[in-house]
Structure 1
Amino acid sequence: MLVLLVSPAGAGAEDAPAAVPATPPSPEQPATPPGDKPAAAPAEQPAPPPGEQAAPSAGKPPAPQPDTPAPPAEKPAAATDKPADDTRESDTREAMCLMIESAARANDLPLEFFARVIWQESRFQADAVGPITRSGQRAQGIAQFMPGTANERGLLDPLDPVQALPKSAEFLSELRNQFGNLGLAAAAYNAGPRRIQDWLAGSGYMPQETRNYVSAITGSSVDDWAAAGRNGKMPARAPTTSCRELMALLKRAPNPFVAGLEQHITLSAAKVWGVQLAAGFSRDKALAMYARAIKRLSNVIGDQDPSLLGSRLRSRGSAMFYQVRIGADTRPEADGLCNRIRKAGGACFVLKNRA
């Protein structure tokens, strides 16, 4: 049975932090339990609209100069006009869809499958760069090619989506032919073909990250896809959806990393000390913050499962404050882990868990 640890109202969620990073907290830095609030910055006066001067505080307005022609009246913007940022985003989405559709069609891949692979890899960000792997390299670009794989595939610039998307679709098509179906192709794209071969042969294991990856893309487990390869009964495919509709759906979909965390997170403090990596009043946002952190810190944290603690604070009434921590048996052990996280560019606090 999983139990969410809740501290009584007014009780501190933990002892004082052992150390606080010297640099100001970034948006990814874990929040400490609310209490002391920073002084509010003085309110700024809104700037006047472009082309206008601020009105004087008192007195009559200056008389118009007879030789100065009045400026032409500006045409009010139509209610349907879109902001420039929205227009640019729409244009980018349209261009991305055209490239994804073209690459999928050229390699006989279902559009939904290919678009979901790219979404899982980079959230459609052409300049995405992954965390440093054990080999000291990073996956790059919209399709997250490792340098060695990019070289093997003849991809000159992984950060150029015009080059990367066709190479990604081509690779997935070859993996489907090699392993027999799309689910195992996705698994091989994520974990590497050799690992999937070993797993199918019974001499290797399937990483949890890859299990989550395949489920998020296909809606079926990698075990179901392996069974389908043996009996020929393929899992049901998703209904046909346009790329634009799919992009909108994916952007509203739950964070897949959070969904993966839900499968192995401990809803209580399993150890005396904790290294806190994320916190907030929203459970999902705290988990999403942690998911982003471990993507960068996987080499430091390893496969340790986090704990999710909750406490109610008197100043916030019944609102629950969630904290995500990696457990440690001793204070020195927790300090050591936090120091390694900071050296790797992360942020953390060492805190004592409530029994």
Structure 2
Amino acid sequence: MLRIVLFLIALAGPGAAQSEPGTLCSSGKWGNVQCIRPAHFAHDTCQAIAHFADVNALPPGFFARLIWQESRFDPNALSPANARGIAQFIDSTAQLRGLRDSLNPALALEHAGRYLGEMTRTYGNVGLAAVGYNGGERRAEGWITQAAGLMPETVDYVQIITGHSAETWRDAAPADPDFRLQGDMPFQQACVALARDRIMTRYPPPEPRFAPCGAQLAFGRTKQEATRAYTRRAGDCGFDRGGRALDLVFVRNRVSGRQGYYMARVAAQSSADANRVCQTARANGCSCAVYRN
């Protein structure tokens, strides 16, 4: 009799998760079906994130951080731009990707993982996949080839999720990025704690952005060298930047394989503003040029 009971329990196992009212499941197109139960939302969501990350060769911490940034794991999230659900698909993208219901968190995670996996393989790393997920593939591809820029929202998005700038992912991607959610805590445990208590280790804040323009007086191969060169140049000609910030802007060498330089530029809010700084510098005998940062 006991064997029969155990057999019936095992037989019912695969469908047990779906028996709770309100349970929503993935399609099973790419990997095992994942179901998210309302009463076990945190556990099931994190299990689905880990599963779809594995199926699509994504670091689970990266996938969790991206979904957290998108929606704070809210399956009913709606953005001002009408992006919907836990993975924040807009209707046109959902239709293009074959996602029938953006408000089904299991289905949305299944499609988001697939989409990110495809972009990771196409662009070469997860950081650039994040660029594409937020900014769109066309803008990402234009930016990768340096034919277009990124929106400030995308710049911040990539930094927050990965701890590295979009430029770093494009120009010199980190070999072993750390996407852990809570130190050495196992992923499932850390993810469930995040979903329940809304706690996540923050990456260090990005460095302050540069002013829109700059009056360039010196440069160097390192930040320290550029700062020393500026101090020496300004001292020689008696130039005082009057409390303005000194931006150290890295510029890649036009010759492939050669080291770039840090440009020492006095911060300015416009080209005209930078030109006024340069006029003062030139009047004191300093060479100076105006650049956009």
TM-score, normalised via structure 1 length:
0.43
- RMSD (Å), alpha carbons: 3.0
Partner of 2:141: 197
**Structure having the larger proportion of residues in helix:** 2
Contact 1:157 1:164 in 2 (8 A): yes
Q: Distance in 1 between matches of 2:94 and 2:79?
A: 14
**Residue 214 in 1 paired to residue 163 in 2?**
no
**Residue 114 in 1 paired to residue 63 in 2?**
yes
What is the aligned residue count? 169
CA deviations 1:204-236 (Å, max 9, x no partner) are 11112111111111111111100136xxx5353
Q: Distance in 2 between matches of 1:91 and 1:263?
A: 41
Partner of residue 252 from structure 1, selected from 181, 199, 202 = 199
Q: Distance in 2 between matches of 1:112 and 1:92?
A: 18
Question: Which of 146-155 and 236-245 deviates more?
Answer: 236-245
Amino acid at match of 2:99: L
Partner of 1:236: 177
Contact 2:61 2:179 in 1 (8 A): yes
Contact 2:45 2:106 in 1 (8 A): no
Offset, 1:180: 0.3
Q: Distance in 1 between matches of 2:167 and 2:176?
A: 11
CA deviations 1:59-101 (Å, max 9, x no partner) are xxxxxxxxxxxxxxxxxxxxxxxxxxxxx98722112112211
5+ residue gaps, structure 1, are 1-87, 133-137, 265-355
Identity of aligned residues (%): 38
Change in 2 beyond 3 A, CA 1:254/1:181: closer
Partner of 1:161: 105
Contact 1:220 1:235 in 2 (8 A): no
Partner of residue 120 from structure 2, selected from 176, 187, 190 = 176
Q: Distance in 2 between matches of 1:203 and 1:153?
A: 26
Contact 1:121 1:143 in 2 (8 A): yes
Contact 1:145 1:158 in 2 (8 A): yes
CA deviations 1:87-139 (Å, max 9, x no partner) are x987221121122112112212111011011000000000001103xxxxx11
Amino acid at match of 2:199: R
Amino acid at match of 1:120: Q
**Residue 224 in 1 paired to residue 165 in 2?**
no
Change in 2 beyond 3 A, CA 1:247/1:208: farther
What SS does structure 1 have at the residue aligned with 2:87? coil
Question: Which of 112-121 and 97-106 deviates more?
Answer: 97-106
